[in-house]
Homo-oligomer: A and B are copies of this chain.
């Protein structure tokens, strides 16, 4: 009977073993479970509900900005994947290959989509003729498969859930605008919904997407000082357009190639939420993304009037749009408290016989344990909505302060290494633009360039080679 009774066990503390703490939270908050195929995880109800919250928010933003959802085939013929040289080079080594279908060997092998650029290109080439058909702003919610040797729940898996936007435009300018618009929506989703401040910028040539001209990224900083690439937005120019013959007749009656973008975020965002906000008692969820925002735990629930009152409160809160539930199981309140904590539910509301007598209840904030006594009157809902808003704000500010404390400007490689090893986080340093220096940094420190700060002009020299610096770059050890 013990195998499922894991909630009362303590989890590993973050300081003791951050990696173990992470998988403890993933499993004990019942976000996921392992399957019998390595790297393929099960998204359990609570983990999937979290993803649904993110989907709902983003899907609305995508549609408001004119995007339409579609669904492309899961399988790609090998010859189609090979049409764009850089792209196939990037993805071929990670592919799962279907060689048999319905008991027969296939004439041509089919690859499970690692990403769907090639499918969108083939379709666009077929349906677009004129400038009137442009832009096409499509998005797809699906799972993709990339064969990974080292896997970790949500962070790196052989299968993961994501959205992939693929758009084509009549002009370079418009495609570049789209690339930045979607980066903006990603940054805003992280900030507004997940309470995560992102560093945004441009990837170096070495780190950009296979086949892209430019890749922009949102990078989150985890509690252990490592960065997590959390979403990317790519500008393709017309490289794929040429490979796939995507042409349109422009207003000037000339045939031209389209300009293209793609952009994606994945269930990696769940990993970011866990590692930015979580603590030694488990998950801590920002109210806006929490599937359950408030859990009512009745105290001495068998006493007369308690359950009635608890249910009444629950109904009132739900009617006001608060995602509230109530734990009426026969477990002890202590067990219920620790389960609510492990799951990171932003607010716990206790109501017992004494509270009832005093016409009040107690709410406890998951983020800091603070307890607030509230009268059980007509202002309860308003008070709780206000507290939820405050928590969202506090969590963002806490994450922002931590992030800002962990951005350090340096001008020498010695300082770079010292900062990286002492406090971690982002180390900003001028860079000449040569891949050789980028590789040297990685080899000696395990830090990679996260992105170029596009808001700042570089001055000074690259500390690695002494040449004039071209960019200021965020470096960090990363997941």
Contacts and interface: CB of A to CB of B under 8 A. Distances in A.
Interface of A: 1, 3-4, 33, 35-37, 40-45, 48-49, 51-52, 68-77, 80, 92-103, 109-110, 112, 119, 122-123, 126-130, 132-133, 138, 142-143, 145, 147-149, 158-159, 161, 249, 329
Given A1-B249, A99-B100, A77 B36 contact: yes
A101 B147 contact: yes
Contacts of A73: 35, 37, 40-42, 159
A224 B68 CA distance: 33
Contacts of A138: 45
B96 A69 contact: no
A75 B159 contact: yes
A233 B7 CA distance: 35
A91 to B, nearest CB: 11
B112 A74 contact: yes
Contact of A123 (B33, B77, B98, B159): B33
| Chain B CB within 10 Å, residue with most, of A98, A112, A143 | A98
A413 B143 CA distance: 50
Contacts of A77: 36-37
Contacts of A45: 68-70, 138
A69 B48 contact: yes
A94 to B, nearest CB: 6
Given A73-B42, A74-B143, A4 B123 contact: no
A40 B98 CA distance: 14
If over half of A's interface residues share one DSSP class (helix, strand or loop), that class is named, otherwise mixed; here it is mixed
A36 B122 contact: yes
Contacts of A126: 33
Contacts of A119: 35, 42
Contact of A35 (B41, B123, B129): B123
Contact of A70 (B42, B112, B127): B42
Given A35-B122, A94-B102, 11 more contacts: A3-B129, A42-B71, A43-B72, A48-B71, A52-B69, A73-B159, A74-B112, A74-B145, A98-B98, A99-B100, A101-B158
Contact of A72 (B35, B74, B92, B98): B35
| Chain B CB within 10 Å, residue with most, of A36, A68, A161, A329 | A36
17 contacts: A33-B123, A35-B119, A35-B123, A36-B80, A40-B75, A41-B73, A45-B68, A45-B138, A48-B69, A48-B70, A52-B69, A73-B159, A75-B159, A95-B101, A96-B100, A102-B148, A102-B149
A71 B100 contact: no
Nearest to A68: B45
Contact of A130 (B1, B101, B147): B1
A98 B113 CA distance: 13
Nearest to A3: B129
A336 to B, nearest CB: 14
Contacts of A110: 37, 96
A366 to B, nearest CB: 22
A92 B96 CA distance: 19
Contacts of A76: 37
A95 B102 contact: yes
A49 B45 CA distance: 25
Nearest to A146: B102
A118 to B, nearest CB: 10
A89 to B, nearest CB: 13
B97 A98 contact: yes
A359 B258 CA distance: 45
Contact of A98 (B35, B112, B148, B161): B112
A96 B33 CA distance: 25
